[in-house]
Amino acid sequence: MTIQPLIDHFESYLPFDENEKELFQSRVTHRSLKRRHFILQEGFPCKHYTFVVEGCFRMFAVDTKGNEHNIKFAIENDWIADIGSFHSDKPSKLFIEAIEPAVILQIEQQDLYFLYTHIPKLNQILRVIVEDKYVELQNRVLQNISSTALERYLTFQEQYPTLSRRLPNTQIASYLGITPEFLSKLRKDIASS
Amino acid sequence: MTIQPLIDHFESYLPFDENEKELFQSRVTHRSLKRRHFILQEGFPCKHYTFVVEGCFRMFAVDTKGNEHNIKFAIENDWIADIGSFHSDKPSKLFIEAIEPAVILQIEQQDLYFLYTHIPKLNQILRVIVEDKYVELQNRVLQNISSTALERYLTFQEQYPTLSRRLPNTQIASYLGITPEFLSKLRKDIASS
DNA sequence: CGTATTTCTTAAGATAGTTCATTGGTCGCA
DNA sequence: TGCGACCAATGAACTATCTTAAGAAATACG
């Protein structure tokens, strides 16, 4: 019901006055979702920036053979959206699915643009947030081009211990770019060493 | 001598008045570099956001075995920096090297922050730029986890035909996360098909 | 509680990619 | 002209990872 988690998130960067908070209140939508619910499907434009209050999401693509590839997970206090589709209004090639029952706060495109206009410092906050995400993603690219599957798995466990415990291994395998069977083998190798 | 290419770049997003352009003039540094010159080395903080006017750069990491892994290339009208190190002032783990003789425009940390303060809409421009870069990087991650080396190579050629012609294959292999030998084999396979 | 569904494990054979050593071509430069 | 550095190509042996198929274990949900 309340958008307080989002306010808190923004205020961890910069403070807002009551006026500004009311603007948020009027432009942010609160939703609860069941497991397996999709908030984005291939072929449709991504209409929202979604802030996760509770639960866990995955963003994935489906290749020509029908295999799913997890591009990103998002848990509490993280954002998830197909940014490219969101800004261009073009059909997305991605899916976003709730892996657990979830509570989210969503901002639609025109509302986000309204907020950027009336609360300019929001640009600064989002710039900083996206820069941080960019660095994270760049580290993942480096891992992908420089490490073996085993190293990638160990790094994932270290870097995202929460996710590592919450997610089925099959989802983790898809994120790492390997088959579940091979991940199972790696886990066996680790256990017996 | 002139910082016009950077002004042009920014003005492709939003217009600036003369006052603002003079602020840029006072905070942006112009440099020419020879091939093989490094503008960032592991162990040192990344002091600049670098805008490439002419030439080509690669950003890479060196792993424990001494192998280099190309994380990113940058050519004309692109930015290059270790963003994480730049904002945190922590020693970088990366190198940035001119692959060709280059002309660049650089902004130091305190100057960039000064510009953000005095030209707030710069936050908006950079937010948009970084969002675009984020989308690009995300597509690369998807490629890495979902495609074979051959597919990645073909996509690279399609997506960056200029780079593909300008770079030695060994640099491309490093970017794709494969050995030069294997890339050579792939090229042979392509040629004979 | 019981059943359907999802997830995990195992293993054998196939394919993708690496490693190492070698060779030949090209280019800048003394 | 020739030397040295760099780059591309090749083949053989090796290692990493995938595919397929099956059964076992865990979990969702009526």
Given CB atoms, is A118 within the 8 Å cutoff of chain B? Answer: no
Q: At what angle do helices A180-191 and A169-176 cross, to 10 degrees?
A: 100
Closest CA to B78 of B107, B56, B101: B56
Please, what CATH class does the domain formed by B4-121 belong to?
mainly beta
% residues pLDDT > 90 (chain B): 92
- Please give the Cα distance from A185 to B12 (Å, whole number): 51
How many angstroms is C1' of C10 away from CA of B96? 46
Q: What is the mean pLDDT of chain A?
A: 96
Tens of pLDDT, residues A50-107: 999 999 999 999 998 889 999 999 999 999 999 999 999 999 999 999 999 999 999 9
- pTM for the model: 0.95
- The structure tokens 């890479």 sit at B60
CA-to-CA distance for A88 and A23, rounded, in angstroms?
Answer: 24
Residue A177: per-residue pLDDT: 97
CATH number of A4-120: 2.60.120.10
Q: Which of residues 2-21 of B touch strand D (CB under 7 A)?
A: none
Instruction: Provide the 8-state DSSP code for A78.
Output: -
CB B91 within 8 A of CB B45: yes
Using one digit for the tens of pLDDT, what is the confidence trace for B183-192?
999 999 998 8
Q: What's residue A1's pLDDT? A: 59
Nearest CA in chain A to B113: A124
pLDDT band at residue A192, thresholds of 50, 70 and 90?
confident
Which whole-number Å values give the CA distances from B11 to A55, A153, B15, B93, in the listed order?
41, 44, 5, 33
With a 7 Å cutoff on the CB, does B90 touch strand D? no
Does A62 contact B at CB distance below 8 Å? no
According to DSSP, residue A55 is labeled S
Where in chain A are the domains? 4-120
Q: What is the pLDDT of residues B29-46, one digit of tens each?
A: 999 998 899 999 999 999
What is the per-residue pLDDT across A62-72, written as a single tens digit (0 to 9) for each?
A: 998 889 999 99
Q: Tokens 């960032």 — which residue?
A: B40
* pLDDT (tens digit per residue) in B44-64: 999 999 999 999 999 999 998
- Work out the average pLDDT over B146-157: 96
> Is-contact B191 B83, C-beta < 8 A?
no
pLDDT in tens, A103-125: 999 999 999 999 999 999 999 99
CB-side neighbour CA atoms (13 Å) of B35: 2
Decide if pLDDT at B1 tops 70: no
